Amino acid sequence: MIRKSSIFWVLAISFLLAASCSSPKKQAATLLLYGGPIYTVDSTQTMVEAVATKDNIILFAGSLAEAQEYKTAQTKIIDLEGKTMTPGLIEGHGHFMGLGYNELEVDLLNTTSYQEIVDIVAEAVKNAEPGEWIIGRGWHQSKWDALPEDAVNGFQTHYKLSKVSPDNPVFLSHASGHAAFANAKAMEIAGLQILSKDGIDKFSVEGGEVMRDKTGRPTGIFNERATSLIWKHVPEENSEKRDKAFDLAVAACHRNGITSFHDAGIAKNTIALYEDKKAANKMKVRMYAMIKGGNKDLLNEWYERGPLVDPDNLLTIRSIKLSCDGALGSRGAWLLESYTDRPGHFGHETLPMKDVKETALNGLRNGFQVCSHAIGDRANREILDRYEAAFVELPDLKTNHRFRIEHAQHLHPDDIPRFAKLGVIPAMQAVHMSSDRPWAIDRMGEKRIKEGAYMWQDLLKSGIPIINGTDVPVEPLNPIASLYASISRKTLKGTPEGGYEPEQKMTREQALKSYTLDAAYGAFEENIKGSITAKKLADFTIYNQDIMTIPEDKFLKTEIAMTIFNGKVVYTKSD
């Protein structure tokens, strides 16, 4: 006869075994997306049918049938209706507040002549208070239809500008941000309109140049560090304008499908602004900010404080930005050989190389990534040399340093393999090739351009990832333009047929990765974003057409249909 207690234990064990073999209860999704191509940038499954998220985390990416197991009555459903989804795009090198201010100030980005600039400023003067500064940005003399007859060293002179604005100081930054154009009133305020006794001392700036005509008078063009002679007299922005610029920049990111932003060089007041915005729950873009390296007091303060790696993944400060040369458009990029169209001129070393070595050592000692601006081939070589010297001096600290060179635009062929060898990441803005290549050949000549300009495929094949972006406001934030340049190596007008140096084109997969997972890697964040993978952050960009399959000639018609940040829809393009 079987005892009751024995029956009880048999039933209990059977129940436990059955429970242990059953599937655990699925978490409830707050959002379910399906209905269009979803490119994950995850090598284990490159495309999926559906994605389920819970709050700001990806729960599942895979088949629609499995994703629906996470659905409840409270789950928000988004049918893509044939639209395409990728991980949220990452702007890998830009200037966030510059993006916002660009929408508040005089925009010269699309100007095609000096006269057009003069006309725009004349209109701005009508609406300005007496003595009010007129600030703008975006002109580029190499993109004009023609230069004025009185041009000096390939740049316009200030006389027409001064005539339409005799009482309002004007300061207009070059599209590159590495030169500026001032009128007579601005130069008068800076004490530069009247020649000094020897005609030289006020115009000597280490790492910069004040353009002068044959008589020694300033033309109004200030190159590289010489821009500070005028800029220091421009009144600081008030808090109201800063707040508005910040909000405009966030909105611009959302419109362009940008969910994360690498801010390339910010000062103490901007750091404080970002900390305030994060505390007020207004940081609606994931900010990876680089400390401006020209302020040694600020650097020492952060060395003592240590990196800020935000557990909320909204504001991270663990890198330093150094500005080591200028831009090609203003002939400020530091070259190994002189400019083809200005013999004897090699550009500018805007930061002593000893400072690069010192910062590299301090970065290794204190856990900070170093990101150095370098466009010219000499600047790139000199920085690689200083990085390498620091790695040799502190070999135990170089592991996973992820030092970067921002732009890496023009390289000597001998230096291309050094990036992978040293583990130095190039942050390259593909749209610069599209904008600059037609005239860059005049600056450097055919040989240097073909052997070392915008060498994307050679760098990728060497084994180092590339971070993409736009350098906004140098170029518009639009990632579609930069992705198009990456895969076509054409101008935005679709020329030339076949693209410039087509062997250096990125594949579409490489281009998308440069805007997502590789950009995340460049910020030590590949484990939390950059691919549509379970347990990563729920940031997505949705397009009106399939960027991985559409014909190249239709690529630029792509629009951002929706942006999802932190698991929430933050932008939807209206019909």
In whole angstroms, give the CA distance from residue 135 to residue 137: 7
Between CA 92 and CA 516 the distance in angstroms is 9
Question: What's the farthest any 2 CA atoms get from each other in the chain?
Answer: 122
Q: Are residues 81 and 172 in the same domain?
A: no
Domain total of the chain: 2
Write down which residue in 231, 260, 293 finishes a domain: 231
What's the one-letter identity of residue 360? A
Distance from C-alpha of 442 to C-alpha of 299, rounded to nearest angstrom: 39
Residue listed under structure tokens 């930069």: 482
Angle, CA of 319, 324 and 328, to the nearest 5°: 120
Q: Name the 3-class secondary structure at 65.
A: helix
Residue at 409 is within a domain: no
Phi, psi of 253 (to 5 degrees): -60, -45
What residues contact residue 8 under an 8 Å CB cut-off, 6+ apart? none
Nearest to 86, CA basis, from 428, 544, 568, 432: 544
| Inter-residue contact 413 to 429 (CB < 8 Å) | no
Q: How many Cα atoms occupy the beta-carbon half-sphere of 10 within 13 Å?
A: 6
- 42 and 160 in a single domain? The answer is no
Using 50 as the pLDDT threshold, list the residues of the chain that sit under it: 1-23, 196-197, 199-200
User: Rounded to whole angstroms, how far apart are CA atoms 323 and 381?
Assistant: 14
pLDDT for 23: 45
Give residue 41's pLDDT. Answer: 98
Backbone φ and ψ for 235, nearest 5 degrees, come out as -60, 145
Rounded to an integer, what distance in angstroms lies between the CA atom of residue 258 and that of residue 180?
29
Residue 384 falls inside a structural domain: no
Residue 217 and residue 108 share a domain: yes
Are residues 191 and 221 located together in one domain of the fold?
Answer: yes
What's the CATH code of the domain at 536? 2.30.40.10
Residues in contact with 78: Cβ distance below 8 Å, sequence separation at least 6, in sequence order: 31, 32, 33, 34, 35, 562, 569
Tokens 């700001």 appear where? 56
| CB neighbours of residue 141 within 10 Å | 24
**Can you point out the beta strands (E) in 213-367?**
218-224, 258-266, 286-292, 315-323
| Residue 250 belongs to a domain | no
Helix, strand, coil share of the chain (percent; to 5): 35, 25, 40
Could you tell me the strand order of the sheet in which 89-94 lies? 89-94, 258-266, 286-292, 315-323, 369-374, 404-407, 425-427
Q: Which two tokens stand for residue 373?
A: 């601006």
Domain match, 53 and 125 both: no
Beta bridge partners of 87: 540
Tokens of 564: 């999802």
Give bridge partners of residue 373 from the DSSP assignment: 323, 406
Amino acid at residue number 354: K
The position carrying tokens 């048999």 is 10
> Do 111 and 30 have their domain in common?
no
Cis status of the peptide bond prior to 148, with omega within 30 of 0: no
CATH of the domain at 111: 3.10.310.70
Could you give the CA distance from residue 474 to residue 176 in angstroms, rounded to a whole number? 5
**Could you identify the residue written with the tokens 């249909």?**
561
Which residues, other chains included, contact 452 with Cβ-Cβ below 8 Å and sequence gap of 6+?
Answer: 377, 410, 411, 412, 413, 416
Q: Are residues 56 and 124 in the same domain?
A: no
Whether residues 117 and 218 fall in one domain? yes
- 143 plus 43 within the same structural domain: no
415 inside domain: no
Q: Does residue 336 sit within a domain?
A: no
Residue (of 473, 470, 480) closest to 512 by Cα position:
480
Out of 231, 263, 278, pick the residue that ends a domain. 231
Torsion over CA of 352, 341, 119 and 102, rounded to 10 degrees? -40
What value, to the nearest 5°, has the Cα angle with vertex 360 and ends 359 and 364? 115
Cβ 550 vs Cβ 564: under 8 Å:
no
Return the H-helix or E-strand segment holding 48. strand 47-54
- CA–CA dist 422, 419 (Å, integer): 5
Q: Sheet holding 134-139: strands in order across?
A: 106-107, 134-139, 170-174, 179-182, 218-224, 208-212
Residue among 30, 27, 48, 78 nearest 531 (CA):
48
Burial class (CB in 10 A: 0-12, 13-18, 19+), 288: buried
Task: Name the residue range of residue 565's domain.
Answer: 25-88+530-575
Spell out the residues 6+ positions from residue 64 whose beta carbon is closer than 8 angstroms to its own. 34, 49, 50
Question: Which pLDDT score, from 0 to 100, does residue 13 have?
Answer: 46
Domain presence at residue 560: yes
Same domain, 64 and 155: no
Question: How far are the Cα atoms of 325, 351, 377 from residue 225, in angstroms, in the given order?
Answer: 10, 9, 20
Phi and psi angles of residue 306, each rounded to the nearest 5 degrees, phi first: 90, 165
- The phi and psi torsions of 35 (rounded to 5 degrees) equal 100, 15
Do 62 and 172 lie in one domain? The reply is: no
- Distance (Å, rounded) from C-alpha 333 to C-alpha 356? 17
CA 483 – CA 359 distance, rounded (Å)? 33
How high is the pLDDT of residue 24? 53
pLDDT at 215: 85
Last residue of one domain, picked from the residues 231, 252, 280:
231
* Same domain, yes or no: 125 and 79: no
Is 138 contained in some domain?
A: yes
Residue 426 lies in a domain: no
